[in-house]
Structure 1
Amino acid sequence: MTSKVISIVLGGGQGSRLAPLTTTRSKPAVPIAGKYRLVDIPISNCLHSGIHRIYVLTQFNSASLNKHIKNTYHFSNFSEAFVDILAAEQTPTNVGWYQGTADAVRQSLHHLAVHDFEYVLILSGDQLYQMDFAHMIEQHIAANADISIATIPVHANDVPGFGILKTDAESLITSFIEKPKTNFESWASDVSPQMAAEGRVYLASMGIYIFNKKLLYELLEGNDHTDFGKEIIPQSIINHKVLSYQYEGYWTDIGTIPSFFEANIGLTDDIPKFNLFDKHPIYTRARMLPPSKMSGTHVDKVIIADGCIINASQLTRALIGIRSRIGFETIIENCYMMGSDNYQTLEQIAELHESQSPVMGIGDRCHIKNAIIDKNASIGDDVQINCGEPLENGDYGAYVVQDGIVIVKKRAVIPNGTII
């Protein structure tokens, strides 16, 4: 039945919680795992599930995302498959930006009207997980549900950050509360023995929904509701058959700098919770890059993408993105280096050395800990980052400090000998 499904990936708002990574790009375009973009996760899940008609909704800094989608997802001319961007647009009936998740879908309904479909799968663009949506769709149809919501068991200390659901014996959702702060003990649900043993007894909404086409139009047209989690879902539970699809695999919302950092560094674990080596790969832009090369480097729990030139003395728990250059005698610990969009020529490098200006990448004799280095940053020689006393949160121009993590901004230049 996946042939009767259209998927909508919500690109999110301004992405302020992921700043400065979202200063010049939309949230779905943020690089992850050294070679992918966030948007590749939901799109790859859809394609592996047999869902080949996908819209990505954006409104902020969408140029790089448009370029990525255009260069990545190509289908046969004889196929109905597509991955298209729908950016917020002014129309005769609407002159404003998307006001929320439901409003974004409402403003996009006229684009869906030209297609034959029965179900709409609505996804978030800032989550890391691997799910076969075909199983969720099968359960939705078998239960004759109006709406299905993917749910995941969470611990009590996670409850205040989620919409929490209660279900009956048939997995139908009977009540919903948005991000309760206190007195939520009565909201514990029946979960599998494994989840109960881990103390994960509260069902949280994952922000993944299936709507029957007719009902979605009814719920969105003729009203001003702007958000699914706060308005559409709680009201629908009263009058419609809303089903919980319980998921127990790895899933994380990476909408903040600490969660983004933890999710990426976690990929370097011996057995990571998110498996990049799964039989269902993550699709992304195919680049004709040379293999990476290293010289004299001791590595421990490191992921290195294509096209890198590394002469560092030590890399520990590090994620090194495409086209990264790292100089001699440099030590990198617990860092995500996103890499570069292009190589500098030997002539350009020689000119920069002559003027004592940093080359793109990381120079010689540096020591960098607990940092995210955004794309195309130039870090000079003898630079130390986050190697001393704890740093105060704040924006310091070329870099930002948040919760002990230093984020070197995109295209930032850190002069030789700088100590942060």
Structure 2
Amino acid sequence: MPTETLILVLAIDRGAGPAPLTEHRTKAAVPFGGKFRVIDFTLANCLHSGLRQVLVLTQYKSHSLHKHLRDGWSIFNPELREFITPVPPQMRESQEWYAGPFDAIRQNRYLIERSRARQILVLDGGAVYRMDYAELVRAHAESKAEITVAVRAVDGRGSGTQACVELTEGERIAGFGRPASPPVENALAAPVPEEAERLETMGVYVFDRDFLLEEMMRLDQARRDDGVVADTDLALDIVAPVVADRRVVAYRFGQDRGRVTPDRYWCDLASIDAYYQANMALLRAEPPLDLYQADWNIHTYQGQYPPARTVPGATSGNEGIFVNSMLAAGTVISGGGVNHSVLFPKVRVQDGAIVEASILFNGVTIGEGAHLRNCIVEKDVEIPPRMQIGHDPKSDRERFTVSEKGVVVVTKSP
């Protein structure tokens, strides 16, 4: 099975939802959880599932992502036919960039044709979750499906970002519906009673290779005959039109047969608030996503930085402290205080500075006496001494991007 499955990871999304974090990087490359990138979770699923023939389709501001793949994921052995290869638009047939998820697959048809794979696993590189893809592929083969769509149970309002799914007997998909727009908290909601169950897609699909090649030829002809074919969502634009004529089945996320069912966690980080809440949820006593699960660790690139530490402030002599927070390597708290926050590598918190319920990216410096609350601070930003952010909504909106829930995103030095 490992060599019979070719994986296409879609990392072409501008990620408009979590903007301005995607101003200089694609959504898949956005930092997450104190040391990771979003795409690390999808790639770790591939690694632990034993499926190691991976093409990462890239496009939008992809340098940061390409560098991360080079530095952190050059771990597969090509002699064993293992690889993780970034594939920007090759323009073999025209001068067009990827026009959408299916067009990105279509433009790389030659890679599918020369592959020995029997099925093509298509994944969204911009979501955070754990999943045993090997079990998904096994279920696809057992059901003799032409397309298998991974679905998850949500409450009656859904996530607001994914297509909803209607099933018939035998887990056959009868149709898809457009997503609603519920509050962002639903992206992290706990399981709901069965009577309120609603199923949504997850951006995870298994296609029979021969069917996929046939469908690409059909859509190419339709494009020539009728013009542009809609291509913004794989479920709604590509899978939905064929459910009546082809065998399309659902695979329920979190089944007992999978090896990582205890988490049952998925989040597509569709907004700044969803991104912020997903990071803050990692600080719970029992987080919905366990980063410390020993048998399913998340691989990534880490710089060779010294250990994080706290030291007394040079002026005040007060001890640096942190409470219920994540501190990555190279971080130093010098007489400041950090509470319920996520700090990426090489952060500096100076004497008397206070950081509360915030996310600080690589290389951020918080000046003496500054006070941050409910903030996301972009990499290498220096917060001047005694500046307050997250305390005065009116002042914050004049200087920074502020989300609907009041999270302040600082993307440049004030």
How far apart in 1 are the matches of 2:413 and 2:201?
41
CA deviations 1:70-113 (Å, max 9, x no partner) are 1112223522111111112433x222221211111111121233
**Residue 247 of structure 1 is aligned with which of 247, 253, 260?**
253
How far apart in 1 are the matches of 2:149 and 2:106?
19
SS of 2:358's equivalent in the other structure is strand
Q: CA deviation at 1:181?
A: 7.3
Moved more, 159-168 or 48-57: 159-168
Q: CA deviation at 1:389?
A: 4.1
Q: Is the 8 A contact 1:335 1:369 kept in 2?
A: yes
How far apart in 1 are the matches of 2:192 and 2:22?
37
Moved more, 12-21 or 132-141: 12-21
Percent identity between matched residues is: 26
Q: 1:254 to 1:389 in 2, by over 3 A?
A: closer
Q: Which residue in the other structure is 1:405 paired with?
A: 407
Gaps of 5+ in 1: 183-193, 341-359, 415-420
SS of 1:263's equivalent in the other structure is helix
Q: 1:378 to 1:198 in 2, by over 3 A?
A: farther
Q: 1:27 to 1:137 in 2, by over 3 A?
A: same
**Residue 308 of structure 2 is aligned with which of 292, 299, 320?**
292
Q: Which residue in the other structure is 1:364 paired with?
A: 368
**Residue 305 of structure 1 is aligned with which of 328, 333, 339?**
328
Q: Is the 8 A contact 2:77 2:83 kept in 1?
A: no
How far apart in 2 are the matches of 1:158 and 1:56?
28
How far apart in 2 are the matches of 1:102 and 1:373?
34
> After the TM superposition, which residues 256-405 of structure 1 pair with which residues of structure 2 at under 5 Å, given as runs?
256-279=271-294, 280-295=296-311, 296-340=319-363, 361-389=365-393, 396=399, 399-403=400-404, 404-405=406-407
Q: Which residue in the other structure is 1:41 paired with?
A: 41
Q: Is the 8 A contact 2:56 2:87 kept in 1?
A: yes
How far apart in 2 are the matches of 1:20 and 1:155?
29
Q: Which residue in the other structure is 1:140 paired with?
A: 140
How far apart in 1 are the matches of 2:196 and 2:332?
44
Q: Is the 8 A contact 1:2 1:137 kept in 2?
A: no
**Residue 213 of structure 1 is aligned with which of 209, 215, 225?**
209
The CA RMSD over aligned residues, in Å, is 2.0
How far apart in 2 are the matches of 1:362 and 1:110?
50
SS of 2:3's equivalent in the other structure is helix
CA deviations 1:199-252 (Å, max 9, x no partner) are 650110111100000001111224244241222111121111111111141111
SS of 1:220's equivalent in the other structure is helix
CA deviations 1:261-285 (Å, max 9, x no partner) are 1111111111110110012111111
Q: CA deviation at 1:163?
A: 1.0
SS of 1:268's equivalent in the other structure is coil
Q: 1:327 to 1:132 in 2, by over 3 A?
A: same
- Which TM-score applies when normalising by structure 2? 0.86
Q: CA deviation at 1:67?
A: 0.9
Q: Which residue in the other structure is 2:238 paired with?
A: 232
> After the TM superposition, which residues 158-169 of structure 1 pair with which residues of structure 2 at under 5 Å, given as runs?
158=158, 160-169=160-169
How far apart in 2 are the matches of 1:234 and 1:318?
42
Q: CA deviation at 1:195?
A: 4.9
Q: Is the 8 A contact 1:171 1:244 kept in 2?
A: yes
Q: Is the 8 A contact 1:178 1:229 kept in 2?
A: no
Q: 1:272 to 1:159 in 2, by over 3 A?
A: closer
Q: Which residue in the other structure is 1:154 paired with?
A: 154
Q: CA deviation at 1:25?
A: 1.1
Q: Which residue in the other structure is 2:14 paired with?
A: 14
How far apart in 1 are the matches of 2:283 and 2:180?
34
How many residues align structurally?
A: 378
How far apart in 2 are the matches of 1:144 and 1:203?
22
SS of 1:158's equivalent in the other structure is coil
Q: Is the 8 A contact 1:12 1:124 kept in 2?
A: no
How far apart in 1 are the matches of 2:97 and 2:13?
10
Q: CA deviation at 1:298?
A: 3.3
How far apart in 1 are the matches of 2:159 and 2:350?
45
The amino acid across from 1:102 in the alignment is F
4+ aligned runs moved over 3 Å, structure 1 = 389-394
How far apart in 2 are the matches of 1:209 and 1:83?
19
How far apart in 1 are the matches of 2:357 and 2:192?
33
Q: Is the 8 A contact 1:8 1:57 kept in 2?
A: yes
Q: Which residue in the other structure is 1:190 paired with?
A: none
CA deviations 1:20-53 (Å, max 9, x no partner) are 1111111111111121111111111011001101
Q: 1:163 to 1:371 in 2, by over 3 A?
A: same
Q: Which residue in the other structure is 2:94 paired with?
A: 94
Q: Is the 8 A contact 1:29 1:37 kept in 2?
A: yes
SS of 1:47's equivalent in the other structure is helix
1:203 paired with 2:196, answer no
The amino acid across from 1:141 in the alignment is A
Q: 1:2 to 1:178 in 2, by over 3 A?
A: farther
> After the TM superposition, which residues 117-196 of structure 1 pair with which residues of structure 2 at under 5 Å, given as runs?
117-158=117-158, 160-179=160-179, 195=191
Q: CA deviation at 1:170?
A: 1.3
SS of 2:306's equivalent in the other structure is coil
Q: CA deviation at 1:160?
A: 4.5
Q: Is the 8 A contact 1:153 1:200 kept in 2?
A: no
The amino acid across from 1:211 in the alignment is F
